[in-house]
Structure formats: C-alpha cells, structure tokens
Amino acid sequence: MRFNNNHKKGLGCGVISALSWGADTVLMGFILSLTPFVKTGQAILLAPVITAFLHDSFSAIWTFIYLGLRKKLGQFFKAVKTKSALWVAIAALLGGPVGMSGYLLSVKYIGPSYTAIISSLYPAIGAILATIILKERINKKAWIGLVVTIIGVSILGISILEYTSTTSAINPIGFIFALVCAFGWGSECVICAYGMKGDEVTSEFALQIRQFTSAVTYGLIVIPIVGGIGLSIEIFKDSVIFWIIGTALAATVSYLFYYTAIYKIGATRAMGMNITYVVWAIIFDTIFLGNKISTLTIASSILVILGVYFIAKEPDQEVQELEFVK
C-alpha cells in the first residue's frame, strides 16, 4: 500500500506540473508581446533572454519564501555544501540558460503552441541520456516510441517551413531554438535525478539550487554579454514586472511538482507525465489568446505524446526498485 500511495503521488505531481507549465507557456507568450519587449528592434532581440532571467530570478525568490515558511532554510544551506548539490547546479545550467533561453526564443518566434509541441521532444532525448548516465535500459517498445516522437516533431517542422513560405508570421529559427530547449531540459532532468539519488538534496532543495544557479548565471554572465542591463532595469519600472512575478509563481509550482515527481517515480516517467503540458498549452492558448490550432498541429502533438508515452512507460522495473528503496 505504501508503494502504491507513493506511486500515485508521483503521478499526481507530474499532472500538476504539466498543467501549471502549460499555463506558464501561454503567459510567457503574452508577456513577450507587451510594449517593453516590442517597442524597439533591440528590445525584441533581448526580450526572451531578459524574460528568462527575470522569470528564474523571481521563481528563486518564491522558492526561498516557500522553504522559509516550511522552516527548511537551515537544512537547505547544509545541503548546498554537498557534491549532490553540485550536480543539481550543473543540471540548472542546462535547464536554465540553455533550455529556458531556447524555450522563450522559440515562443517569441513561433508562438506557445508550436513551442510546446517541439520542445516536448525532451523526454526522448532524456531517455537516451538516461541510458548513458543513469544506466537505464530502453526496450524495443521504447525505441519505437522514440521513432514515433521524432516523426511527429518532423511533421510539425515541415508544416512550419511550408507555412513560412506563404506568411512571415512564423520564423523557422524558432524550430531550432525549440530543439535546443529540448536538449537542455532532457539533460537537466537526468542529471538532476542523478544529484537527488541520495537523501542529501530533496526535490525542494534541488529546485532552489536550480533557480538560484540559473538566475545568477543570467544576471552575472548572460545579461551583461548581450547588453541587456539597461532594458532589465527598465522592465522593473514597468507594470509588466507584475505579470512576470505572477508567471514565475506558476513556474515555481510547476517545477516544485516536477522535481517531486522525479524524486518519487524516476526521471524518465516524470518526463513522460510532465510532457502533457503540450495539451494544456494548446488548450490555454486557444481559450485565452484565441489562436487557431490546425488539424496537423493536433495530429503532430498526438504522435509526439504517444511516442513519449512508450518511452516513459519503459523503465517500470527500475522505477519500482527506486520506490521501494525510498
């Protein structure tokens, strides 16, 4: 019974992480369309990177407040001194400056729905990396799922290129940024799972390390290099900052439940549950932003989710062993 409850909690966390990330995706698309980010050519260019910086920075603050309310800050500061925390920090660099920047650049160029579908390739990439880093074995069904996923993403990519030939509304470079995002997120999940193997770093502590590392890297390295300090300061003076703070809360909720799912049911299955954010992003995008979704888009997303389902379903034995240990 204890095993079943832990398993159900992990799956439930995966569902909540997907729903909240779908909302985050659409909200970020809305934020990137607001005046401070579109008033000049330079602002349009810098908007995704600066938004990623502020997004992760406020998420780090929300997480810090959460740990404080739960009176776990003392334990957290002890955990950051461990080797496990270092692995989580490395995962943060791949998920934040690499993955999140690619994600927001893709949202900027091709919109939230297309970005959600293409970036959903990350569990397939994560499954491959898991065989190398975590020594997980992938069976034939999982490889079939990987092929189906790649086919789904490829069809979507072709549809974007064809659409671009008749309108300038979608930039094909967004497809590339979405793939960069997929690699960053896939590797982040696997390396983070490696860092949380022991009891030194919990899912809550991992999230704080992740967001803080990402925010500091953006603030001290990325933003100065791209010349975004001036625009960042300007954003703080605009009402859009409240949208970013609110959206960062949605991201914090998503990451908190996502990292908990990784801790409870393993990296590959957690990715499989989280990937359903594609469906939520499309639903929210259609309802709140009024964007139309084509039949090909829906078919592509179904193929991607179907393929990822088989990939995520594969490591049942390893997941059960992990749960019994915990």
The span from the first CA to the last CA of the chain, in angstroms, equals 14
pLDDT at 319: 42
Whether 117 contacts 304, CB under 8 Å: yes
pLDDT at 3: 40
pLDDT at 74: 94
pLDDT at 8: 75
Give the total number of structural domains in the chain.
1
pLDDT at 280: 83
Q: Which domain holds residue 180?
A: 2-325
Return the ∠ at Cα 178 (arms to 177 and 179), rounded to 5°.
Answer: 90
pLDDT in tens for each of the 326 residues of the chain?
344 566 678 778 988 999 999 899 889 888 988 888 888 888 888 888 899 899 999 999 999 999 999 999 999 999 999 999 999 999 989 988 898 888 888 887 887 767 777 887 888 888 788 778 877 666 777 778 777 877 877 776 666 555 554 444 556 788 889 899 999 989 988 898 888 887 788 889 999 999 999 999 999 999 999 899 999 999 999 999 999 999 999 999 999 999 898 888 777 778 877 877 877 887 887 887 777 777 777 787 788 778 777 766 644 444 444 443 34
pLDDT at 180: 92
Question: pTM for this structure?
Answer: 0.80
CB burial of residue 173 (10 Å; 0-12, 13-18, 19+): middle
Please state, as a whole number, how many other Cβ atoms lie within 10 Å of the Cβ of residue 200. Answer: 18
